Chains A and B, each alone.
Chain A
Amino acid sequence: MNSTPEHTHPTPRLLAELAGLLRGAPGSAAPLANTLSVQAMGFATFGRTDALDLFARHPLALSATPHVLIAPDALAVLDVTPEGRHVGVFADLVDGVLARLWVAGPVADDAVAEPAVPVASDDFMTQHRAVCAGDVHDHPRLDAAAWPQVQAAAAEALQTVREPAAASSSQAFVVRAFSSGDAFAALYTLRVLSASVPRHAHRCWALAVCRIGADGALLHRRLAISEPWPVPAPVFF
């Protein structure tokens, strides 16, 4: 377990609680927020009850030695499955309570997106396009020096999922980011737009855990990217 020295005490407890939730353990004593919302396995759930139900149906086991970063209001876990696949887990914390959770990993076979009214949107709002949407200002626990590497990890995540790699209008949105010592974690949602016509879009989640040097140079990067999430059926009135 790679936890930063300043936060070693809460980490084992939180990890045990997180592991219990991910197993969907009935009667879990984990202090879960009543409003716990989860984005995992292709499902979006709301409330503690549905979160436990989701993981009871689709349990996710963490290894004994996941890579962990923690901040007072967030927890990032990057793990490798026995099959060698990277899985990322990111949690919002409120006073040590798991309040919100994302899993960048597999998508369940029975995952179905809720129908939604389609919204036409321009993710770039300029012809001078950037692949990473975000602002370091919105992530007060992130060392500003890490921001270029947050953007670089976004670009790598998109390169991993784009088909084909060139001429895409795909974009990564920085949902959460924080630093812990010389490391940082960043959670992204990726909107992947196909290059061919008709241009279908789908969404993925990605978690990057990186270590940077004093000069801001990248020393190490691990990346977990979800499988494509199911696309909502369009609602037309």
Chain B
Amino acid sequence: MTAVLTPAPWNQHPQVRSPAGRAIADLLAQRSRQQPLDGFDPAYADFVDYIVRCTHRIWEEKDIGLCRTHYANDVVMHTLAGPSRGCEAVVQGTLGALAAYADRQVVAEDVIWSEDAPGLFYSSHRITSRSTLEGSDAQYGAANGAAQMATTVADCLVRDNRIVEEWLYRDNARAALQMQHAPRAVALAQAEADRAGDSQRHAWRRQWIDRVRSAVQAWPEAGHPAEGPMRLLQTAWVDDLYGQAAAAVSPSIEVRWPTGRTGWGRGYWIGCLVQLRAQLHDFHFTVEHWAARPLPNDEVAVALRWAACGVHASQGAWGPASGRNILVAGSSHYVLRQGRIVRDQTVFDELAVVRQVLGGLGAVVPGAGGQ
């Protein structure tokens, strides 16, 4: 939710349930309309059903052409590897993915949504996709039976049954490893390809970095569950007070970050935050959108879409310092129990980060003046 809009209460329509903990038969059962959804296909009972069911229809039921009635003609899909534009690009991308990975199961872990203005919905859809390479993948080659199980967060802005803008963050370095490829080698090949041709096609990245650097943080209304996690990230990444930030999360917090990072406890949570921050000097960070929804068993889900940037001036997880301006954009999904964070699942495309480190995506060298 962005502050310029008039939001509906975060917990409106409690009858609209999260997919968390539900059986597939329950998720796919047809129901009557559960909430006002003017302009939406009558097939959908509520906004969560819209997200889960249209995804199932397109990917599992193979009705890819439904993208033409579920995406706006001029939709923009943002990723950390660059934007794509137009509904036909979505159709073609889906066809290509299914030609390579026909058995993809797009399992909805959660849909954390908000109604940012009347009739304007926003979803943060966490997905883990299970698929087998039985076709030919442009990145990973011919059929080899390798299986992927990568997590994605798709944030969608939706009006009148159509996604008008999407931010797609996928754990692509983990996917590369699952396809038995070294992420650095994949990122290096991508970076080399990026340096060929017109560098203006990477202008989006400089513009995004400029937006992060100049951003003035907006905040949720008082009492919104997203306020606490946002303040924690600010305390950690802006003030560098990691201990104070961690004091407000569970001592046994479960942490899942990209490229296999999995651990428990405040120390591990700090470790993930510091590992990223330590490599980037002149660090800037902003939360671009927030949403929250009730979960079963009296828990609350919070989704934060964020972006950060800085100069890669210290060696770390991404290799030797490159001196390049690096953009990291991702999504963090938190589970709150009794108001405190007990789980942090953060997704960003670390392959695209390393691609920047290695000189791809028009990486900016400070003082060099170019992309």
Contacts and interface: CB of A to CB of B under 8 A. Distances in A.
Contact of B107 (A47, A138, A140, A232): A47
A218 interface: no
Interface stretch (B37-45, B157-165, B285-293, B335-343): B335-343
B105 A35 contact: no
B328 to A, nearest CB: 13
A138 B260 contact: no
A173 B249 CA distance: 14
Interface string B254-284: 1001111111111110111011000000000
Contacts of B13: none
A24 B297 CA distance: 27
B19 interface: yes
A189 B265 CA distance: 10
Contact of B264 (A95, A114, A191, A232): A191
B338 A237 contact: no
Given A35-B21, A119-B275, A49 B319 contact: no
Interface stretch (A2-10, A81-89, A129-137): A129-137
B21 A121 contact: no
B138 to A, nearest CB: 22
Interface of B is mostly: mixed
Contacts of B183: 235, 237
A94 B108 contact: no
Contacts of A110: none
A134 B298 contact: no
A97 B354 CA distance: 40
A135 B340 CA distance: 11
B177 A35 contact: no
Interface stretch (B22-30, B202-210, B303-311): B22-30
Interface in B163-196: 173-174, 177-178, 183-184, 187
Interface in B123-182: 128, 130, 149, 173-174, 177-178
Contacts of B340: 137-138
Interface in A74-107: 92-95, 97, 99
Given A117-B260, A119-B272, A173-B264, A49 B251 contact: no
B302 to A, nearest CB: 16
B227 interface: no
B19 A35 contact: yes
B20 interface: yes
A232 B263 CA distance: 12
B71 interface: no
Interface stretch (A26-34, A54-62, A155-163): A26-34
B317 interface: yes
Given A50-B130, A237-B319, A121 B105 contact: no
A121 B263 contact: yes
A35 B252 contact: no
A34 B271 contact: no
A140 B21 CA distance: 19
B243 interface: yes
The CB with the most chain B CB atoms within 10 A, among A48, A114, A232, is that of: A114
A33 B338 CA distance: 24
Nearest to A122: B267
A125 B108 CA distance: 36
Interface in B100-130: 105, 107-109, 128, 130
A120 B271 contact: yes
B254 A94 contact: no
A95 B296 contact: yes
Contacts of B237: none
A148 interface: no
A46 B107 contact: yes
A94 B296 contact: yes
Nearest to A234: B260
B318 interface: yes
Interface of A: 31-35, 44, 46-50, 72-73, 92-95, 97, 99, 114-117, 119-125, 133-135, 137-138, 140, 171, 173-175, 189, 191, 232, 235-237
28 contacts: A34-B19, A34-B27, A34-B107, A35-B22, A35-B108, A44-B262, A48-B24, A49-B130, A73-B296, A93-B21, A94-B21, A94-B296, A114-B177, A116-B260, A119-B257, A119-B263, A121-B267, A121-B270, A122-B271, A125-B243, A125-B246, A135-B252, A138-B337, A138-B338, A235-B177, A235-B259, A236-B319, A237-B354
7 pairs of A and B residues whose beta carbons are closest in the complex:
A94-B21, A116-B260, A121-B271, A99-B21, A173-B252, A119-B271, A121-B267
Given A97-B21, A120-B274, A232-B260, 18 more contacts: A34-B107, A44-B262, A47-B105, A48-B24, A72-B297, A97-B23, A115-B177, A116-B259, A117-B317, A117-B350, A120-B271, A122-B267, A138-B250, A138-B251, A138-B338, A138-B340, A140-B338, A237-B187
